[in-house]
Amino acid sequence: MNAISQYFKKIGWKRFVVMVIGNIFLGIGISIFKFAGLGNDPYSGMIMALSDVAGIAYANFLVFANIAVFVLEVVFGKEFIGAGTIVNAFFVGYITTFFYELWITWFTKPESMVVQILIMLLGTIVTGLGVSMYQTPNVGASPYDSLSLIMTKKIPKFSYFWHRICTDAICAFICFLSGGIIGLGTLVSALGLGPVIDFFNKHFTRKLFGKDEDIL
């Protein structure tokens, strides 16, 4: 308990709260992408497809998958573990499910491509904000995000960008083989989120911390 209290004293309440809010927005963003029906980010899409095949609720399956990947994070990337790791691994799936069920209760599933694209763009903005707020406090990477960081550390010949492309491509391929949706939303998530995240980093999230150097 003393180690935990020391950890939270070190990171401070502000970084923890911003990270938690970021994960909430991330879950909302994923649920909006799913509601649009044009495909999710590769990892979420893969988990959704595999959970359908296994007959297990998405949120529960995501926890199981995150635990499996977390083992690799413990072995090869302990420095990437923090409060953000735990919050993301265990709660994002349930946040996503909660909001997705709200959307399908309150709204009719979009059938027009124009409406689907507009909803997807909203999901891109919300997800980008969520990722920015979850990552900027620098209090732990999710198990999946840590894979690219670990690969970059172990194989520095290739940049983080290429390692991320590799892991996303594998997830997208598994999603496709499992009968999941690979579409415009998948492409936008894989290639278009970066600029949105960077925008929120520069113009919003980093400003929350002033000159705190221990942020991304």
Q: What is the pLDDT of residue 176?
A: 94
- Confirm whether 179 is domain-assigned: yes
CA separation for the pair 56, 60 (Å, rounded): 7
pLDDT bin (cut points 50, 70, 90) of residue 194 is confident
List pLDDT tens digits, range 117-143: 999 999 999 999 999 999 999 898 899
- Confirm whether 212 is domain-assigned: no
Q: What is the pLDDT of residue 158?
A: 83
- Confirm whether 88 is domain-assigned: yes
- Confirm whether 2 is domain-assigned: no
- Confirm whether 7 is domain-assigned: no
The residue type at 144:
Y
CA separation for the pair 174, 172 (Å, rounded): 5
Q: What is the pLDDT of residue 212?
A: 67
Which pTM does this prediction carry? 0.91
Q: Report, as an integer, the average pLDDT of 14-43.
A: 95
Enclosing domain of residue 119: 13-207
**Domain count along the chain:** 1
The residue type at 60:
N
- Confirm whether 157 is domain-assigned: yes
- The CA angle 208-214-216, to the nearest 5 degrees, is 70
- Confirm whether 43 is domain-assigned: yes
CA separation for the pair 72, 164 (Å, rounded): 16
Q: What is the pLDDT of residue 1?
A: 62
List pLDDT tens digits, range 30-64: 999 999 999 999 999 999 999 999 999 999 999 99
- Confirm whether 6 is domain-assigned: no
Q: Report the candidate in 112, 145, 131 with the shortest Cα–Cα distance to residue 29.
A: 131
Q: What percent of the chain has pLDDT over 90?
A: 68
Q: Please report where in the chains the tokens 């620098």 appear, as a residue.
A: 138
The mean of the pLDDT values for the chain is 91
List pLDDT tens digits, range 68-103: 999 999 999 889 999 999 999 999 999 999 999 999
